Structure 1
Amino acid sequence: MEEYVYIDGKKYRRGYTTGSCATGASKAAVYMLITKNRINTINIDTPKGIPLLLKVDNINISDTFVECSIKKDGGDDIDATHTMDIYARAEIVAKNDKNKGYLTLKDIDSLSTNSECKSELYKFIRVYGGTGIGVVTKKGLSVDVGKPAINPTPLKMINHEIRKLIGDNFESILGNDKVLKITIFAPQGETVAKKTFNPRLGIVGGISIIGTTGIVEPMSDDGWKKSLSIELQMKKEQGLDKIILVPGNHGEQFIREKLNLDIKYVVRVSNFIGYMIKEAQRIGYKKILMAGHIGKFIKVSAGIFNTHSKVADARSEILVANLALMGARYEFLNKINQCVTTEEAVELINNSEYREVYNILSK
């Protein structure tokens, strides 16, 4: 894929999602199952409007099924799933299959607006999660508990591309009382999933098949923020009406060891403090407690709600300004300004008459 974007004057290559991989592998497997012709590439459309030509690997054609894979390419936004092989297995099975752990478009809320549902093709396509694909165990996600972690957009994409192959004459192709069984699997999935948000989201046993556009945008925080927001939603679904927001390990450890509060209320927000406060408000939390390193939260006191250093790093300036308003001497302000870390500045403040600055900053 040779799609690029320019960010801050630098050129970055786009990639494609696990959802696009699963879609491409599914379409290729179905095509080879029906035609018995081997192919090396497959075309798919994406919700982003960018068409993809994907290389088909690991082809296995038998009399009763076809397996193949697409290699995940994150472009210049490399994540844990980059270079993974995402497989699909296509086979025609009896409609009365007793295994109910599959997804159809009927599992998606937006049925009435989906053209595939109007064609009723969705009744004949069942998508399963195989080895390395996680299973949802907690409420609050876009997939029901007990179902494979294959999100709505990839599910729609798979159905859309298969409909393009089969058209509306699916019964004549599949046969009476038959359905098309698609199994998505990823041999490395269980290992790779440990490096993702899945364990915190209650998705066990593997990765998720995700992607709302089919395309990975380099240097984008959108996917990360969405995962954090999902965790907030899940905890609300579990009956919590208050939440503790922490940037990372330091805040979580403080909550557990110093405040002795239940860790079930904790959600890590990384640098997206402002975004997560707004999300908590939108979702309906009544109380929010925030805890973390002063180096992060001193920025929030000055209205900097994305605390990444590339966005803003005004820690010394914020301390100096507030201390100056308290009437601190020039010599003391100069020492604070020369501190390399906030820990160093805190030590100076703790040994001074200006400890009230902490209360001022926290208001």
Structure 2
Amino acid sequence: MAVTNDDYVFYNGRKLRKGFTTGTTATAAAVAATKTLLQQEPQSIVAVKAANGQQAEFDVQDDQFDETYASVAITKDGGDDQDATDGMLIYATVTLRQDSEITLDGGQGIGRVTQKGLANEPGMPAINPTPRRMIKQSVRDLLGPHRGADIVISAPEGEKVAKLTYNPKLGIVGGISILGTSGIVTPMSEESWKHSISIEMNIHRQRGDDRIILTPGNYGEDFLTQTMKIPVTQQVQMSNFVGYVLKEAQRLGFKQVLMVGDLGKMIKVSAGIFSTHSKDADARAEVMVANLALLGAPLGLLKQVYACLTTISMIDLINEAGYQAVYQKIVDKIKQRSEKLLVRREPAVVVDSVIFSRSSGLLASSKPIEEIEAEWR
């Protein structure tokens, strides 16, 4: 197991232990295998530096070796992070060469890149540049300048675990990725999540797309495909990071964005709230009441809506009172707020939006829904 020398982060008042990336784990396995091979004896513990310079120690497992090769395993320790790869074994096999070259490849359970737009070219193993450099340099330091080796990183459970990661959407097939820029996993980190979304968007851009569909999550994706009959080939899930993803769309050069989401999330965007997680903001009742008031809704209705705990219960009251026009007001403001967020930079981005409710279906769209469906199918 890895020892994290009591390195913690605080998140929402909780003390959480940091861990190590698959990149640091693979580096440790490569170092342990090389030491085993050179010394011709098993290693019980291996110490390496993560990419950010932090010292890390790992227990070495399942060592096998002879005079030409060595293979060892290290358990991936993600700390308190909810990571699909936490606890899986990462193997490194190091085989001596007759020359001084050092090669690095992915074996069983390590994904292969199939699309442009990622850090590695199609056909390469999904071992990102920082861990690739760390692994090869660490082995070079042990071998010296005149000996070479073939290094193969593998993960027996990788193909199964990869189904729980972003890899299938990124066009990485056959296993997990060896990742990490700092080498450290920060629990509950949103940065790695955002980075994954950016990578997925860049894949769309690299293949020539200049427009993209954004949904907060599975509900939006289901409405897009099942109700609007629009395929997911141009769609990315943005989670709660609406502002970040919109700015990324502009940075990457998309000219047109369609956002499809449940009212409960998207109503916040209409008020200029671009991080829609409840921990950041929950002004759904206030936004709805303000828009209803502008339509002249009676005080009694406003009080009832304000007391609602969910947008579904708000919708029931609004529909019963005949104020469905409020949905169009909200969806129009989603478009206005989103385009205003991007107005100061190029390229200009046209944003349209569709809002729905899981209980009652389509609520409103920033232009006729038939036009949107025809345009994006």
Matched, 1:162 2:166: no
Corresponding pairs, count? 328
Matched, 1:25 2:25: no
1:260 to 206, 218, 229: 229
Residue 89 of structure 1: SS of its match in structure 2? strand
Matched, 1:85 2:114: no
2:123 to 119, 136, 146: 146
Q: What is the match of residue 104 of structure 2?
A: 127
Q: What is the match of residue 112 of structure 1?
A: none
Structure 2, unaligned runs of 5 or more:
334-377
Q: What is the match of residue 115 of structure 1?
A: none
1:239 to 204, 208, 225: 208
Residue 251 of structure 1: SS of its match in structure 2? helix
Q: What is the match of residue 52 of structure 1?
A: 56
Partner amino acid for 2:277?
H
Q: Distance in 1 between matches of 2:53 and 2:68?
A: 34
1:268 Cα offset (Å): 0.7
Q: Distance in 1 between matches of 2:233 and 2:139?
A: 42
Residue 93 of structure 2: SS of its match in structure 1? strand
1:44 Cα offset (Å): 1.1
Residue 282 of structure 1: SS of its match in structure 2? helix
- Using the aligned pairs only, state the percent identity: 48
Report the aligned-residue RMSD: 1.4
1:295 Cα offset (Å): 0.3
1:38 Cα offset (Å): 2.0
1:340 Cα offset (Å): 2.4
Residue 46 of structure 2: SS of its match in structure 1? strand
Residue 83 of structure 1: SS of its match in structure 2? coil
1:352 Cα offset (Å): 2.6
Q: Distance in 2 between matches of 1:128 and 1:302?
A: 49
1:143 Cα offset (Å): 0.5
Does the CA contact (< 8 Å) of 2:82 and 2:188 recur in 1? no
Q: Distance in 2 between matches of 1:314 and 1:341?
A: 11
Q: 1:302-331 deviations in whole A, cap 9, x for unaligned?
A: 111111111111111110122122221110
Q: Distance in 2 between matches of 1:263 and 1:12?
A: 36
Q: What is the match of residue 304 of structure 1?
A: 273
1:267 Cα offset (Å): 0.6
Q: What is the match of residue 150 of structure 2?
A: 181
Does the CA contact (< 8 Å) of 2:104 and 2:136 recur in 1? no
1:41 Cα offset (Å): 1.2
Q: Distance in 1 between matches of 2:24 and 2:261?
A: 38
1:200 Cα offset (Å): 0.5
Structure 1, unaligned runs of 5 or more:
96-122
1:249 to 200, 212, 218: 218
Q: Distance in 2 between matches of 1:351 and 1:8?
A: 39
Q: Distance in 2 between matches of 1:292 and 1:6?
A: 31
Partner amino acid for 2:104?
V
1:158 Cα offset (Å): 0.7
1:78 Cα offset (Å): 2.4
Of 37-46 and 297-306, deviating more is 37-46
Q: 1:253 to 1:8 in 2, by over 3 A?
A: closer
1:94 Cα offset (Å): 5.0
2:68 to 47, 53, 64: 64
1:345 to 310, 314, 338: 314
Partner amino acid for 1:304?
I
1:145 Cα offset (Å): 0.3
Write the mapping of 1:218-233 to structure 2, written as runs, cut at 5 A. Answer: 218-233=187-202
Of 284-293 and 4-13, deviating more is 4-13
Partner amino acid for 2:284?
R
Does the CA contact (< 8 Å) of 2:110 and 2:125 recur in 1? yes
1:190 Cα offset (Å): 0.5
1:255 Cα offset (Å): 1.5
Q: Distance in 2 between matches of 1:16 and 1:318?
A: 42
Residue 291 of structure 1: SS of its match in structure 2? strand
Q: Distance in 2 between matches of 1:359 and 1:338?
A: 22
Q: What is the match of residue 366 of structure 2?
A: none
Matched, 1:214 2:170: no
1:5 Cα offset (Å): 2.0
Which TM-score applies when normalising by structure 1?
A: 0.87
1:237 Cα offset (Å): 0.7
Partner amino acid for 1:32?
T
1:325 to 287, 290, 294: 294
Q: What is the match of residue 14 of structure 2?
A: 10
Does the CA contact (< 8 Å) of 2:96 and 2:149 recur in 1? yes
1:355 Cα offset (Å): 2.0
Residue 323 of structure 1: SS of its match in structure 2? helix
1:347 Cα offset (Å): 2.1
Q: Distance in 2 between matches of 1:309 and 1:330?
A: 27
Which TM-score applies when normalising by structure 2?
A: 0.84
Q: 1:132-179 deviations in whole A, cap 9, x for unaligned?
A: 000111111001101100000100111221233234xx32xx3xxxx3
Residue 140 of structure 1: SS of its match in structure 2? coil
Q: What is the match of residue 35 of structure 1?
A: 39
Partner amino acid for 1:34?
L
1:12 Cα offset (Å): 1.2
